[in-house]
Amino acid sequence: MAKKPVHYVVVDAFTETTFKGNPAAVCFLEEEEEKDVEWLQAVAREFNISMTCFLTRVATSGMDGSSPRFRLRWFTPVTEVDLCGHATLAAAHTLLTSGMVDSDTIEFMTLSGILTAKRVPEMKSSDISKIQGGDVPGIWIELNFPVVPIAEDDDAKRISSVSKVLNGTSIIEIKKTAKDDHFIVIPSAKEVEEFQPQFDEIQRCPGEGIIITGLAQPDSGFDFVSRYFAPKLGLNEDPVCGSAHCALAPYWSEKQGKNELVAYAVISLSLSNGM
């Protein structure tokens, strides 16, 4: 039997500028295709960018007026993950701008449950990411994602490991997320930006990854800044980590007493492609 080609696109999410933001490969599989995990992982390894996702349309009767639904899976170059913000945004952008769906709302069946993406008017701004590329007009997309709870970290060994990774950087709080990431609050946006990660030390830390965050400068137009490091997932530093904001947004919402936040993902000058 002849092998079927896999249609794919590469989208730079969270940016209006080519070669910026966070790249994701969006691969479309036929409904009848059953690809094993080894094949999916091999494709992600071949792309070798921060995330590769796979979409499969779920057959519906079309009689109940429900939104189009797709299975969605995400892979870094080394493993499958259960939540990814920027690749979901990339998938939604591709579907909504390509004519593949006749709807303003899409549902994704994922390891984190049903996630929704919705085309919305431009007047809503602070909680929506605008993505634009090529000759396709820019659109606004709202993602409905789960909250990732954070809690105090009372494990002395974990705290000691994280303190070593921070290498003298002042720490306000050390917490842990339900995704087993370290959640570290440091005093300022400037210190977040200037932090020099030691990836070997981060690799040896217990847990999955490390989120560092701090308040943005008062005149910056942002509420908080962050960076995310996950060498165990094949991502030394993720250029813009959407899923990390499932923990960041509720934390800073409570701290600042705001329901709408504008976040900025600091990009290290030494970061080339997120790997």
- Left, alpha or beta for 187 (phi > 0: left; psi -120 to 50: alpha)? alpha
pLDDT at 65: 66
Domain at 7-144, CATH homologous superfamily = Diaminopimelate Epimerase; Chain A, domain 1 (3.10.310.10)
* Strand, coil or helix: 249: helix
- Listed by start position, the domains of the chain span 7-144, 150-265
What is the separation of C-alpha 135 from the centre of its chain, rounded to a whole number of angstroms? 25
The answer to which of 29-33, 35-39, 206-210 has the lowest mean pLDDT is: 29-33
Whether 231 and 203 have beta carbons less than 8 Å apart is answered as yes
Span 188-210, pLDDT tens digits: 999 999 999 989 989 988 889 99
Q: Give the closest residue to 261 by CA, choosing from 237, 226, 227.
A: 226
What is the mean pLDDT of the segment spanning 37-45?
Answer: 96
Q: Is 204 helix (H, G, I), strand (E, B) or coil?
A: helix
Domains 7-144 and 150-265 share a fold: yes
What would the pLDDT profile of 142-166 be if each residue is shown by its tens digit? 999 999 999 998 878 778 888 888 8
Q: Is the CATH code 2.160.20.10 the one for domain 150-265?
A: no
Closest to 110 measured CA to CA, from 140, 132, 64, 143: 143
What pTM did the predictor assign? 0.85
Angle (CA) 58-59-63 rounded to 5° is 125
Annotate 153-191 with b (16+ C-beta within 10 A) or e (fewer). beeeebeebbeebbeebebeebbbbebebbbbbbeebeb
